[in-house]
Every structure is written in structure tokens, then in C-alpha cells.
Amino acid sequence: MLFYIFAAIAILSGAYMVLTRNLLYAGFSLLLTLLSVAAIYVLLFADFVAVTQLMVYVGGVLVLILFGIMLSSRVHDKSVMSENTNVGWGITISLLTLIGLSYTIWRAGFSSLPWIQQAGTDVLSGQKSTVQLIGIKLMTDFVLPFEVASLLLLIALMGAAYIATAKQKV
Amino acid sequence: MLAFALTLLLLLGIVIVLAYAERKVAAFMQDRMGPTEAGPYGSLQSVLDVVKLLQKEDIVPAAADKKLFKLAPILIFAAVFAGFAVIPFTPDLIPAGIGIGVFYLLAIISLDVVGLLMAGWGSNNKYAMLGAMRSVAQIVSYEIPAGLAILSVVMVCQSLDFQEISYQQGILLNRFPGLEFETNWLFGIEALGINTTNIGGITTWNIFRAPILLVAFVIYFIASLAESNRAPFDIPEAESELVAGFHVEYSGFRFAILFLAEYSMMVLVSLVAVILFLGSWNTPLPNLTALKFANWTTGTVGELSGILWGGFWLLSKTFVLLFLQLQIRWTYPRLRVDQLMHLCWKVLTPIALGIVLLAGIWRLLMV
């Protein structure tokens, strides 16, 4: 029941985000979408993923988006509006994506997958959260991708610092 | 629902006391009397202020973005109030005992930032906009040293659960499921050979279990002042330049909500500081041979005495920190924006990174 409520909120706010012309409203409805998706993660026993979603997307990405919109508008004292371009191509590509995704989901046949049938409601099996398991996995099986990701972030950080200083000299 | 109502009532009580204390502390530090008219020593002043605010007209500026303007105070207060869900008030009283409480708290506070932007933009006022921008820039920056200081506690305690961290800091250590066979050593080092598991009191607080956390506590406290927009980090409000910051256009009930959210934030960051560093709901008095101060002032878990002692110690420690916040407000002048960023990025963040490393090494000594 809770799942359907949050799913409905996610879909409605997502649709509003796409359909509204006001970029700022789109940003704020993205907040609602992210929150309800986080709630769905919690219902799926993925508490760590849910909180990480809040931390990274709401605390970081969304604030960045809002900052961007607010700093770049208000030039003529009106909110930024998005415009419709490439209507034909947009509809075609999104329809094709929809068909592709629906076909894949239909073909996958989730209810017959063995690990779905084995998984009971007691996913955590006595564990209080998924953090311990995630930590062990990150330090053993997935240590290389983890370290590569940190290297990538460091490079991005240095790049950002370089671009910012280069602009100041001019 | 019961936890919701109780926490809200408790919070309202604390905030009303705090608003009164703020004016009285300010007055005494400036050699004035403060409020004296309403009630004995003016103690009803803040209650009357709330009543006054509720009676006022609800003004929405004509040029404001009305939907955002009306939604923002609710979002700000909801974000701060949601943080209280994971705060353990006594050994067996916690609204939501989730296993990743610390992480959840850090994430939910960042929702506050979106609300501030909403309020600043919705007001359609340049002072409000500037105030919101400054506030958000400040909160986002100071989340980093605060987060690193909290991370060092998490590394020492090996837990993201506020209740588990609380149990680790007192004589009830072995009562927590999963910690039955743990022992506390003085300064966390077994080689010293002083077992403090049954001594408890201040010797098992986190700042004593790993003295390196004392530095982390100072960093967290400074950063938490900035996160709750308190002086000397109150440039988002800066009465002399921005009138009142992001809430300049708000009046009546909506202003009351914003005011409540701001003071709740102060209470929340102080509660977190007490829980993570200063022994949570544990008593500060240690057991000394025959004088079982810690046992006497802890009560029995699950009974009324345990609840009362736990709540008493948690709230009294929190009030000490809140008093410190008020005192600092009237002691230090406001920082400039560049000084603020310098303090955050060039002083606090490098020290906090070093503390995280040292806390990891200390944890190795503790094993």
C-alpha cells in the first residue's frame, strides 16, 4: 500500500517536472520525486541506498541545480522558462525508449526469477542495516571500482579548481 | 504518533525556554535587565511573544511566488524536525531506532537547505535572496568539517546507531544487544590496564575513551554554530546589512514556524554533540570504589527512574551547550564572508581530515 502511494507521488511529481515550463518549479518537484524514490528504497530494505540518495541528490545535486537556476535568472526579473524544441525527434526517441523498456521488463518475467522467489521478507536476517555488508563488499570484492571512483572524483575536483582559477586571471 | 506528539511538545517547551534564556543571557552580558514585565522576572515573555505572533495578520507579498513562499516554512521545519526522529532521549526511549541514524541525520539536515532556497526565492526580495544564498553556501561548506568530525566518532564507535553509541559511553555498555562482552578501558587503551566498564561516568564518554575526539568535538561545535546560522556565523541574517536574511518577508504564523525551525536546529545540533561526544544520556559521575555515583544516578533501565535520569542528563548537558551558544553570540563579532570560508576550508577541514586519520589509528589501539 505504502509502495503505491510513494510510487504515485514519484510519477506525478516526475510528470510535473517534465511538463512544467518554469525551471525552478521543475527543480522543486524533482525534490519530491527524489524523496519518494528514497521512500521506495526504504520499503525495499535498502536503507543505506535511500539515505545516500538523499545525501547526494538532495543535498548535493539538487542544491547545485537550484543555485544554477537562481544565479542565471532574474536578469529581467522573471523566472526561467524552458522552450519546446525538437518536438518530433523527442517524441520518437522517448516512445522508442518506452517500447524498449517495456519489452525488456516483459521478457524478463520477474516473478519466475529464482533469486526473487528465494528472497523472503526477512532480507536483513537479523542484521540491523545493510551498512556492514556494504562496507565488507566495498573493501573486498569491489575495492578496485571503489578506488577508481575516488580517483575520478579527485580528477574532477582538480579540473574544477583549474577552470575556476583560470577564469580569475583573465 | 505518540513519539511525534511527545517530541514536538518537548521541543516547543525547550524552544520557549531557550528564547527566554537568549534574551536574559544577552541582557546580563550587556549589564541590562532583559524582559521583566510579563510574569516573574519576565519569564512569560516568550510565551506571550508566541501568542502575539499567532494573532498577527498573515502577510503574503503581492510580488512573491505564493506557492513557494507558503511551502518553504513547512519544508524547513519538517526537515529539522525529522532529524529528531533518531535522537535517543533515554536508554529505552527513541522515536525511531534505525541502524544508520547518524547518516540519516546528516542527510535529512541537507533538506533544510532546499527549504531555505525556496524561502529566499519565493519572497522575491533581494535581501531574502542574498540571505538564502549566504545561508546555503555556509551550511553546505560547514557540513564538511562537521561530517568529518562525526565520521571520526563513528570510526571509534564502529556504529551508525545513536543508541548504540550512547550505550558505549556508560556503565550500561553490556546491556545493549551485541555489546555484551565489550569492555571500556581508560582512554580506550587496554595496555594501561584500567578497566572503566564499571566505573562509567565521565571516564567512558567519547571525549575520554579517545581523547582525540576532544578536538573533533571543538570542530563539530564550531561547524554546528555555522549550520544553525548562529553568531559569529550569522551573516545570512546580518541585521545591519540584510535586514533579516531569508525570512525578511515573513510575518505572523509563518515567521513563528521559521523561528521555531531555527531554534530547533540549535537544539538538534547540541543534542547530537552531546550524544556523540559528551556521553549522551549517561551520568557524568563515575563509580569510585564504594561510592557508586554512576549507579545511583543512572536508575534502572526500563523503569521510571531510568527514563527520568536519562532524560535529565541528556537535557542538562544540552542546555549547557545551548548556553555556550548564547554566550558565544554575545562575545564574538560577526565574521566576514571571506573569513568564514577561510576558517572552513583552510583551518577546520584540514584539521578534521587529520582527526579522521588519527581516530582510525586510535581505534586500532583500542582493539
At residue A100, the pLDDT reads: 93
Contact B110 A54 (CB under 8 A): yes
Q: What does the pLDDT look like over A121-170, one tens digit per residue? A: 555 555 666 777 888 888 888 889 989 999 999 999 899 888 887 665 54
Type of residue found at B26: A
Question: Are residues B129 and A131, on separate chains, in Cβ contact within 8 Å?
Answer: no
* pLDDT single digits (tens) B127-179: 888 888 888 888 888 888 998 999 998 888 888 888 888 888 877 777 777 77
pLDDT band, residue A120 (cuts 50/70/90): low
d(CA B293, CA B290): 9
* DSSP label at residue A75: S
Alpha helices per DSSP H over A20-127: 23-43, 47-53, 63-72, 87-108, 114-118
Return the residue in B106, B113, B129, B133 with the most chain A beta carbons within 10 A, the one to mutate for interface testing.
B113
A vs B: CB pairs below 8 A: 65
Nearest CA distance, A118 vs chain B (angstrom): 25
Q: Which three cell numbers stand for residue B259?
A: 523561528
Segment among A146-150, B68-72, B214-218, B352-356 with least mean pLDDT: B68-72
Tell if the CB–CB gap between B114 and A62 is shorter than 8 Å: yes
Test the B interface: residue of A53, A63, A75 with most B CBs within 10 Å: A63
Given a cut of 70, whether residue A116 has pLDDT beyond it is no
Concatenated DSSP letters of B8-56: HHHHHHHHHHHHHHHHHHHHHHTT-----SSSGGGTTHHHHHHHHHHHS
Residue whose C-alpha cell is 554554530: B225
Question: Which of A24, A47, A60 has the CB atom closest to B100's CB atom?
Answer: A47
Query: Which residues on neighbouring strands pair with residue B93, listed in sequence order?
Result: B90
Contact predicate B145/B205, CB 8 Å? no
Cell digits of residue A115: 533469486
Distance from CA of B68 to the nearest CA of A (A): 9
Q: How confident is the model at residue B357 (pLDDT cuts 50, 70, 90)?
A: very high
The average pLDDT across B105-119 equals 84
Query: How far A149 CA sits from the closest chain B CA (Å)?
Result: 19
- Tell me which residue of A153, A25, A34, A22 sits closest to B110, measured CA to CA: A34
Contact B111 A59 (CB under 8 A): yes
ipTM of the predicted assembly exceeds 0.85: no
Closest residue in A to B115 (Cα–Cα):
A28
Cβ pair A63:B100 closer than 8 A = no
Residue whose C-alpha is closest to residue A30's, from A12, A47, A48, A50: A12
Provide the pLDDT for residue B190. Answer: 73
**Shortest Cα distance, chain B CAs vs residue A78, angstroms:** 10
Mutate to test the interface with A, among B67, B102, B160, B246 (most CBs of A within 10 A): B160
Each domain of chain A, given as residue ranges in start order, spans 1-83, 86-126, 140-170
User: What does the pLDDT average to over B58-73?
Assistant: 80
Average pLDDT, chain B: 83
* Mean confidence (pLDDT) of chain A: 80
Amino acid at residue number B139: I
CB B236, CB B131: distance < 8 Å: yes
B332 contacts B236 by C-beta, under 8 angstroms:
no
* CB B93 within 8 Å of CB B292: no
Nearest to B113 among A48, A59, A79 (CB): A59
Distance CA B279, CA B274 (A): 6
- The percentage of residues in chain A with a pLDDT greater than 70, rounded to a whole number, is 81
Task: Tell me B192's DSSP state.
Answer: G
What pLDDT was estimated at residue A154?
93
Q: Are A116 and A110 in contact (CB under 8 A)?
A: yes
- From residue A84, alpha-carbon distances to A26, A89, A167, B168 in Å are 15, 11, 32, 59
pLDDT tens digits, B177-235 = 777 777 777 777 777 777 777 777 787 888 888 888 889 999 999 998 888 888 788 77
Query: Which of chain B's residues have a Cβ under 8 Å away from the Cβ of A31?
Result: 114
- The cell numbers describing B117, all together, are 532556497
CA dist., res. B137 & res. B129, Å (int): 12
**Residue A4: burial class (beta carbons within 10 Å; 0-12, 13-18, 19+):** exposed
**Host H or E run for residue B329:** helix B304-329
Asked if B292 and B68 count as a contact pair (C-beta separation under 8 A), the reply is no
pLDDT score for A127? 61
Give tens-digit pLDDT for A64-107: 888 887 777 655 455 566 677 778 888 899 999 999 999 998 88
Mutate to test the interface with A, among B111, B121, B129 (most CBs of A within 10 A): B121
Q: Which residues of B fall within a CB distance of 8 Å from A74? A: 129
Q: Which residue of B has its CA nearest to A73?
A: B121
Q: What is the pLDDT of residues B279-336, one digit of tens each?
A: 888 888 877 777 777 777 777 777 778 788 888 888 888 989 989 888 888 888 888 8
In 3D, which of B233, B332, B330 has the Cα closest to residue B34?
B330
If DSSP codes are grouped into helix, strand and coil, which group holds residue B221? Answer: helix
Of residues B156, B175, B153, the one with CA closest to residue B103: B153
Q: Percent of chain B, pLDDT > 90?
A: 6
Name the CATH topology of A1-83: Four Helix Bundle (Hemerythrin (Met), subunit A) (1.20.120)
Strand partners, B287: B292
Helix B101-122 and helix A63-72, axial crossing angle in degrees, nearest 10: 20
CA distance B112 to chain A (A): 9
Q: Which residue has the cell 594501561?
A: B192
Distance from CA of B99 to the nearest CA of A (A): 5
- CB contacts, 8 Å: B110 with chain A: 54-55, 58-60, 63
Q: Which residues contact B164 (CB under 8 A, 6 or more apart)?
A: B157, B176, B178, B179
